[in-house]
Structure 1
Amino acid sequence: MNETVHSLPAKTALTARKTRTPTRAASPATLPAASVAPSRTNDPARTMAGILEVATTEFAEKGLSGARIDEIAAATKTSKRMIYYYFGSKEGLYLAVLEESYRRMRNIEAKLNLDDLPPEDALRRLVGFTFDHHHGNQAYIRLVMSENMERGSYLAQSKIIQELNVPAIGAIDKLYARGVVQGVFRPGLDTIDIHASISALTFFNVSNQHTFGLIFKGDTRSEQALAARRDSIIEMIVRFMRTP
């Protein structure tokens, strides 16, 4: 959630229009010992992490088509050759960035200790975390928006994206089931739909902040406005799930 590639992949038709098939990134453990990597460090994992960090900003700001490997190489003080060595291609690096963004979010979610809280408190913590994560990691939102513009064609080729997101649904499954047993939540709800509702409300707050604020002339980005919006979203989800 890999084989080493030494050349750029050929174009293939993924959707009605042509896109490029991302080459799978090589992990340091799978790099062949006999290969001579154009490295400037004895720590490949650290080098790859640095490239991913800079590439995240580049792809988030400019999208796949607008991002430039030259700029990523310059910012990381590496070379295009090194980036292609580790990630195979621009598309391979883009996919690695998407996967890493999802991985980071799910890793933090796993540390929320929702099982230690009463069901409603656990739900409030999960929704609040999602709101805070999206607001504090707006590059993640832009990456997701960018991949939706690509109609999900690159993320669809990920071998680990399904595995990465299983824990998110599992956490909601558990807290919802506990809530139903205790009579706190009403039965008959779908946990994927609950996840979608949480995502939609917290995502919109970042994705549409500029246009929404401009159209309705509101200060949607002040600390007070954000706190009020956060509380409102939490309350909406809780009331939707709560037993009447």
Structure 2
Amino acid sequence: MTATSSTSPKSPARTVATKRERDPVAAKQALIAAAVAEFASKGFAGARVDEIAAAAGVNKQLVYHYFDSKQGLYLVALESVYAEIREKEQKLTLNELEPLEAMKQLVAFSFDYLAEHPEFIALLADENRSHGANLHESERLQKMHSPFIEMLEATLERGVAAGVFRPDFDAINLYISIAGISYFFFSNNHTLSAIFGKALDARGALLQRRRHVIEFAINALRPDKDVA
């Protein structure tokens, strides 16, 4: 019988994990990405730190080292998804577009972001179940002002001045309406598909809904010619 060497090489997975653990930035990013996926899938109550660490390829103790607790990691994960949408909002350049076209792009952006980021919808649903408690705890989120509201307000003002939008809409209510008609479609897609007997997550259904949401918002904003 041959003796087993005590100096056998480490497995590739463990080598990667060791390198990542030695790099604080990489370890944190891996943990946050794994946390977003875990919390979106199972909610805060169902998520497990062990599984998050395993998915990130790092030692479980790093969660507590960098984030203090499971709740601390959840809060950072929540902040990260909000930071991403804020970053994408800031890249929208609408000043050179006519008000109608600018508004169409704003509505389309809201719809497309939700279509591409189901984890954002899942995390929002879970956070609402806890009455937004973690959002209230985050100073970073409270300071993370959305440029989307400012863009809506500016576009509304330009549209009113051009005579293509009615003057009695405010940006916050409009934002809630735009977000709502898209959010409900995605957050309830499975039940809606079952009720209506249609695959509402199919590409054709998504494109149809996208057109409807844009047209619905634009038509609501048009001046009422019958009002004196």
RMSD: 1.5
Q: Is the 8 A contact 2:178 2:217 kept in 1?
A: yes
1:149-164 to 2 correspondence within 5 Å? 149-164=129-144
- Determine if the alignment matches structure 1 residue 179 to structure 2 residue 159: yes
Q: Please tell me the residue identity of whatever aligns with 2:136.
A: A
The higher radius of gyration belongs to 2
> How many aligned residue pairs are there?
207
- Determine if the alignment matches structure 1 residue 113 to structure 2 residue 132: no
Q: Is the 8 A contact 1:219 1:225 kept in 2?
A: yes
Q: 1:42 to 1:178 in 2, by over 3 A?
A: farther
Q: 1:191 to 1:220 in 2, by over 3 A?
A: same
Q: Please tell me the residue identity of whatever aligns with 2:76.
A: A
Aligned counterpart in structure 1 of residue 187 of structure 2, from 199, 207, 216 = 207
Q: Which residue is equivalent to 2:198?
A: 218
Mapped to 2, the partners of 1:162 and 1:168 lie a distance apart of 15
Q: Is the 8 A contact 2:100 2:218 kept in 1?
A: yes
User: What is the SS of the residue equivalent to 1:165?
Assistant: coil
Q: Which residue is equivalent to 2:223?
A: 243
Q: Which residue is equivalent to 2:72?
A: 92
Q: Which residue is equivalent to 2:118?
A: 138
Q: What are the superposed Cα offsets for residues 48-99 of structure 1, whole Å, 9 maximum, x if unpaired? A: 1111111101000000000000001111111221111111110011111111
Structure 2: segments with no counterpart, 5+ residues:
1-17
Mapped to 2, the partners of 1:59 and 1:165 lie a distance apart of 24
* TM-score (normalised: structure 1): 0.81
Shift of 1:42: 4.6
Q: What are the superposed Cα offsets for residues 33-55 of structure 1, whole Å, 9 maximum, x if unpaired? A: xxxxx984453222211111111
Structure 1: segments with no counterpart, 5+ residues:
1-37
Q: Is the 8 A contact 1:60 1:139 kept in 2?
A: yes
Q: Which residue is equivalent to 2:209?
A: 229
- Large movers: runs of 4+ above 4 Å: 38-42
Q: Is the 8 A contact 1:39 1:82 kept in 2?
A: no
- Determine if the alignment matches structure 1 residue 168 to structure 2 residue 148: yes
Considering fraction of residues, name the structure with more helix.
2
Shift of 1:165: 3.4
Mapped to 1, the partners of 2:68 and 2:148 lie a distance apart of 30
User: What is the SS of the residue equivalent to 1:65?
Assistant: helix
Mapped to 1, the partners of 2:23 and 2:95 lie a distance apart of 38
Q: Please tell me the residue identity of whatever aligns with 2:51.
A: E
* TM-score (normalised: structure 2): 0.87
Q: Which residue is equivalent to 1:27?
A: none
- Determine if the alignment matches structure 1 residue 63 to structure 2 residue 43: yes
Mapped to 1, the partners of 2:145 and 2:109 lie a distance apart of 16
